[in-house]
Amino acid sequence: MLKLLITRNLPDSVIATARDHFDLTYRDSPDVMTRAEMETSLRDHDVVLPTLGDLYRAEVFAAVPQPRCKLLANFGVGYNHIDVAAATQAGIAVTNTPGAVTDATADIGLMLMLMTCRRAGEGERLVRAGDWHGWHPVQMLGLHMSGKTVGIVGMGRIGQAIAKRAHFGFGMTVKYVNRSAKDVPFPATQIASLTELAAQVDVLVIAVPAGPETHHLITADVLSAMRPHAHLVNIARGDIVDEIALINALQTGQIAGAGLDVYEFEPRVPQALIDMENVTLLPHLGTAALEVRTDMGRMALDNLIAFSKGQDLPNAVT
């Protein structure tokens, strides 16, 4: 049996399956790994199942020039915490779990769209604080989302799932930016540039994968192109948005609000965002449902089992 390290606590059924197929070392902890632990993982294990926050940077691979490990089977679709180029150079393959997360993440995207447009977080805080004194006609007026225009940045699986929900559920017009045109089962217009898209939509949703080419994709220029009533929603990765520029856009009224499930320096959330009532903040809930996390674990194990049998990796990252 190959020696496997699972770096964080996962659903019990995933761990049971892992024990059936591997000589398992289970790090049953919610805490991210230290650099020393990551270096040890590459030295002492044949395969590793890491996840978000386990920062396998270039210096980690450089510290272990002849790693025993030959596969990092990432738990999650995003893998910007792994330097894939450095892993490849070290002879280590990387896989992820793309299909399992689509619907759950899209659901959170729609929830954030509604929460920020209709000021739901602010309203709940008002009630919990005992400061609500009854209904009146102009109390907490927000943006009516039905019939508006949604802009999708990144029309991959998750972007399409969000757009589908927005169009068929709320009658929204769908516009998007993507490296290539997409053939989708609903009306959608591809826009030439991100700034053009930002200027045309009521809600701008970030659904693009994270990587060096998308770092700070949402700049001050993009935010300034948005209309004052528009909202930004990010369910992708925090560093896709220039967080300082976003804070400035919110504080100055350049945009009306934001719904965030991810943050640039997660888990640190800037106090400026916490202090603003027009920002909805979630603790990275995108895939936080037991059946979804179980499916993610099983997909990661499918990659590991395929590797152990010398088969092609189902979800190789290139």
Whether 142 and 243 map to the same domain: the answer is yes
Domain that holds residue 44: 3-96+289-308
Residue 275 inside a domain? The answer is yes
pLDDT digits (tens, 9 = 90+) for 82-124: 999 999 999 999 999 998 899 999 999 999 999 999 999 999 9
What confidence category does residue 263 fall into, taking pLDDT thresholds of 50, 70 and 90? very high
Asked if the model's pLDDT at residue 176 lies above 90, the reply is: yes
Catalytic positions: 237, 266, 284
Note whether 76 and 192 are same-domain residues: no
* C-alpha span between 169 and 191 (Å, rounded): 22
pLDDT of residue 139 exceeding 90, the answer is: yes
Amino acid identity of 44? D
Residue 68 shares a structural domain with residue 106 = no
For residue 174, being part of any structural domain is answered with yes
pLDDT tens for each residue of 274-293: 999 999 999 999 999 999 99
Residue 255 lies in a domain: yes
Residues 122 and 142 in one domain: yes
**The one-letter amino acid at 49:** L
pLDDT grade for 318, boundaries at 50, 70 and 90? confident
Q: What is the pLDDT of residue 211?
A: 83
107 and 88 within one domain? no
Residue 316 domain-assigned?
A: no
Query: Distance (Å, rounded) from C-alpha 307 to C-alpha 198?
Result: 43
CA 76 to each of CA 13, 57, 265: distance values in angstroms, whole numbers, following the listed order:
17, 17, 18
* Structural domain includes residue 85: yes
Verify that 121 and 90 share a domain, yes or no.
Answer: no
Residue 99 has what pLDDT?
86
* Within a domain: 256: yes
Work out the mean pLDDT of the chain and round it to a whole number.
Answer: 97
- Cα dihedral 253, 255, 258, 263 in deg (nearest 10): -90
If asked whether residues 225 and 254 sit together in one domain, one would say yes
Tell me, yes or no, whether 31 and 91 share the same domain.
yes
Q: Sheet containing 203-206: give its strands across.
A: 189-190, 173-177, 149-153, 203-206, 231-234, 257-260, 279-281
| Same domain assignment for residues 222 and 298 | no
Within this chain, do residues 81 and 146 fall inside the same structural domain, yes or no? Answer: no
Question: Does residue 212 surpass a pLDDT of 90?
Answer: no
| Confidence (pLDDT) at 78 | 87
Is there a domain that residue 79 lies in?
Answer: yes
Residue 213's domain is classified under what CATH number? 3.40.50.720
Domain count, the chain: 2
As a whole-number percent, the residues of the chain with pLDDT over 90 amount to 96
Whether 180 maps to a domain, the answer reads yes
Domain shared by 88 and 115, yes or no: no
Average pLDDT over residues 42-66: 97
Q: State the pLDDT at residue 134.
A: 95
pLDDT tens per residue across span 24-41: 999 999 999 999 999 999
What per-residue confidence (pLDDT) applies to 151? Answer: 98
Please give the backbone phi and psi of residue 234, each rounded to the nearest 5 degrees, phi first. Answer: -125, 115
Q: Give the mean pLDDT of 222-235.
A: 98
pLDDT of res. 195: 98
Whether 111 and 66 share a structural domain: no
